[in-house]
Each structure stands twice: as structure tokens, then as C-alpha cells.
Amino acid sequence: MFYLFAALTVISGFFVVTNRNIIYSGFFLLFTFFSVAGIYVLLGADFVAIVQLIVYVGGILILLLFGVMLTNKITNVEIKTGTINIYPATIGVGLLTGSLLAALINSSWLTVSTAAPEPTTKALGTMLIQEYALVFELLGIILLIALIGAASMARREK
Amino acid sequence: MEVGLNHFLVVSTLLFSMGIYAIVTRKNAILVLMGIELILNSANINFIAFSRFGNFGLQGHLIALFVIVLAAAEAAIALAIVLNIYKTLSTVNIDEIDNLKD
């Protein structure tokens, strides 16, 4: 099960970054987000997986697709985009990936054998309104400011 | 072979590298945003994997939730900026936006 989600994540992520059509990239991003939510479920994070589905798939992805629609000419049927610096970027990212993988495989992580995952929603809610209440309120204010700012920036009249 | 911490770390590393690759190579600003979302997702996988296999309770989950909220705010702001750039310069290709150079 893990290998299914991992393969889906990596393959669709690869298509996101290599496909020339922005719309196709957006739809492959949908598969990536779904399989990342599956990985969260395998890790026992049920609430985070649901939030991932609601916020990423329902919100951010739609926002990105709206952005694609609004910033390309309607008459341009094939929405294509180019790439720059392809060879140095491939070499650099390959080196980065190799060194990161070597580092994390060679290091010995101290893992503890934890119990089977149990529902986390209640515990997360309790933590959010007790120990992390300040962070919770600040995040609410940040989100409000960001949305007001985005709306006023996008609709500014000349 | 049992699926352990390293498996999840490898997946998140690959996702992170693809996000970096998208940011570095793509011309379109929206695809750069997609790369940022991939990187934030890989960071979230790391947080939750360490929270599952280390003895940290649920704090990793909480930080992942905060990251998701910040990603939503960032996407809204960045898309507003991209729309303004498109209105002003009629392009969203990052390599053509070099007005500050002159």
C-alpha cells in the first residue's frame, strides 16, 4: 500500500514538473496531493489527511487553476510554457537529491516503536485550544489579513 | 521489508527535489508556485513521519496543520501578485519580467 502511494506521488510529481502544458501539470498536481494524503493516512495522521484533501485539493489547486485560466489568453488553445537552464538545473538537482538521499540513508535515526495509530482529531482539537491557543489565533489573523490583502490587490481600480 | 521511517524520508526527498527543479527551470510563475506547494508537502511528510516514528506526540501533526494554513495564505497572496503582474506587463514568464534591470 505504501509503495502504491509513494509511486503515485513521485510519478505524478515528475509529470507536474516536466509536462509542457500547464493544465496537465495542474491535474497531475491533483494526483500528487491525493497520494500525499494517502501517505498521511498510512502514517496515522487522519485529521491532517482530511485537511490536506479539503484545503489543497479543494482550495489551493482550484486557485492555481484559476490563475492559469486568468493569465493566459483565451484564444491560445494550447497553453504551453517553456523551460530555462535545463541542463545545469538537472545536474544541480541530481547532485542535491543524491547527497540528500546518501545523508539520510547513512544516518541512523533513533526510532521508537509506537503503538498503532488512533484517531487524532480530539487530541489535536484539545491541543489547539489549550497549549497552542496563541498560535491558533495568530494563524486566524494571518489568514484574514492575507485574504483581505489578496482581494484588495487583485481588484485594485486604476 | 517493513516500511519504516527511511521510506517516507526518501519519498519526501524526491518530492522536495522535484519542487526545486520546478522552481529553477519553469518559466511560468504559476508553475513556480506549484513547485513551492510540492516543497511544502514534502516538509509536511517529514514532520508527520518524525512525529509517527519518534516519540513526539502530536506536535508534528499540529505543525503540519499550521504549514497547510500558511500555504493557503501564501497561494492567495502569490496569485494576487501574479494577476497584477499579468495586468501590468501582459506576461507571467519570469525571465521576461526584468524591468528593474534598466
pLDDT digit of tens for each residue in chain A (158 aa)? 888 989 999 999 988 888 888 888 888 999 999 999 999 998 888 899 999 999 998 888 888 888 888 877 655 555 566 677 788 888 988 999 999 989 888 888 777 766 666 788 888 888 889 889 999 999 999 999 999 998 888 776 65
Cell (9 digits) for A76: 491560445
Contact B49, A2 (CB under 8 A): no
pTM of the model: 0.88
Determine, for residues A39 and B8 on separate chains, whether the beta-carbon distance falls below 8 Å.
Answer: yes
Rg (CA), chain B: 17
CATH of A1-81, one of 3.90.1170.50, 3.40.605.10, 1.20.120.1200, 3.30.200.190: 1.20.120.1200
How far apart (Å, rounded) are the C-alpha atoms in residues A92 and A87?
9
Mutation for testing the A interface, residue in B61, B86, B96 having most A CBs under 10 Å: B61
The answer to whether the Cβ–Cβ distance between B15 and A64 falls below 8 Å is no
Contact: B22, A17; criterion CB under 8 Å: yes
Closest residue to A13, CB basis, from B31, B38, B83? B38
* Distance separating alpha carbons of residues B55 and A143, to the nearest angstrom: 31
Say yes or no: ipTM exceeds 0.90.
no
